[in-house]
Amino acid sequence: MKSRAYLVAAAVLAAALAPAISVGPAEAKGCIKGAIVGGVAGHYAGHHALTGAIGGCIIGHHVAHVAEEKKKQDAAAAAAAAKNPAPTATPTQTP
């Protein structure tokens, strides 16, 4: 009887968490490459491949986010420069 209560509680919990888990597509830019590098590094550093993969995913995602922000700032600066070009110096004539 006790195991049936646990089964019902687990089913209710799974039903409650299902919408939170399947929200939509994840932004995993940089995570896959970071996880591969971190997993390999963790494997060679004491057989901690899973921990290395998790850490690599976090760091890879952060690095990709920073690179994306820099790309957006550079594009905004280029657009502002194209919109308001710097005045060019006119040559002065000497007598």
Where along the chain do its domains lie?
Answer: 26-78
Low-confidence residues of the chain, pLDDT below 50?
Answer: none
Q: What stretches of the chain show up as alpha helix (H) in DSSP? A: 2-21, 31-44, 49-83
pLDDT at residue 95, rounded to an integer: 63
pLDDT, one tens digit per residue, over 49-71 is 989 999 999 999 899 999 999 99
pLDDT at residue 81, rounded to an integer: 83
Query: How far apart are alpha carbons 7 and 18 in whole angstroms?
Result: 16
CA-to-CA dists, residue 26 to 23, 57, 61, angstroms: 9, 13, 11
Whole-angstrom Cα Rg for the chain: 27
pLDDT at residue 73, rounded to an integer: 93
